[in-house]
Amino acid sequence: MSLPHLRLGVNIAHVATVRNARGGTHPDPVRAAMAAEAAGADGITAHLREDRRHIRDADMYAIKQAITVPLNFEMAATDEMIDIALDVKPNAACIVPERREEVTTEGGLAVAGRESELEPYFARIRHAGIRLSLFIEPSEAEIRAAAAVGADIIELHTGRYCHDESGRTAELERIIKAAELAASLGVECHGGHGLDFATVGAIAAIPQMHELNIGHFLMGEAMFSGMDKAIAEMRRLMNEVRPS
Ligand code: PXP
């Protein structure tokens, strides 16, 4: 059985964080998105946070215009964000939980038990022809809830796997089971958060994974080796376990 091509989605939001530190226009996240595409990214992810701490509205429109690979628009489930997403028309909207005080997206979206609250937001996305992706923990309840609300994609939170070395084996097992369950329910499985050269292999080896979204490590690595080399090395490590 041949495995699906494992796509590499590159999150360029951190470039905007550096730009905003000086209030100017450099480094430009749009240029980063174009460079990532040129270096082999299969998709670009950008997160428009409620507080606009990195990507801004105008960046999102400009990135969509500048790239030819699919745009994955990460956002909270709010009317404001969905209005913008419907206007930008990305390939996918990835719904994440968002708290202003967090440094990064700390946990998965709680879907189970909140279906009736969230469904109106999800319906707006799906009716606009945008793929609905839900960033969730690798738990059976969340995967079943995501499938029941009609998610096209679940993105499994790999942060615990990456950061908790002592619990890594158990967490990998959870992610493997979660990916199998998603596939059995007909939901496309993605993964992301905290992945680096050391952790990507085990996640890329999961046969049901279709896409990995990687940002912080890749942008940091690009400072040392350049975008081309950082993305090429990530791609090589993915191909090592998933020859296409
Ligand atoms: N996927 C989602 C849904 C995220 O929120 C993030 C972080 O913005 C990522 C993937 C990428 O995580 P990292 O920057 O740790 O690679």
- Give per-residue pLDDT as tens, 112-162: 999 999 999 999 999 999 999 999 999 999 999 999 999 999 999 999 999
Residue 48 CB less than 6 A away from ligand 1? no
Task: Report if residue 7 sits inside a domain.
Answer: no
Q: Which of 45, 162, 210 best tests ligand 1's pocket when mutated (most atoms within 8 Å of CB)?
A: 45
Closest CA to 201 of 241, 156, 155, 244: 241
Question: Is 187:154 a contact under the CB 8 Å cutoff?
Answer: yes
Residue 10 lies in a domain: no
Q: Which CATH number belongs to the domain containing residue 120 in this structure?
A: 3.20.20.70
Tokens of 6: 């494992």
Atom of ligand 1 at shortest range from CA of 155: 3
Angle between helices 79-88 and 57-66 (to 10 degrees): 30
4 in a domain, yes or no? no
Residue 1 forms part of a structural domain = no
- At CA 40, angle to CA 38 and CA 46, rounded to 5? 80
The number of domains in the chain is 1
Rounded CA-CA distance 184/173 in Å is: 17
pLDDT digits (tens, 9 = 90+) for 206-237: 999 999 999 999 999 999 999 999 999 999 99
- Cβ of 214 less than 6 Å from ligand 1: yes
Q: Which domain holds residue 51?
A: 16-241
Please give the share of the chain, as a percent, with pLDDT higher than 90: 93
Q: Is 28 among the domain residues?
A: yes
Nearest to 46 by CA among 36, 176, 166, 38: 36
Residue 197 within any structural domain of the chain: yes
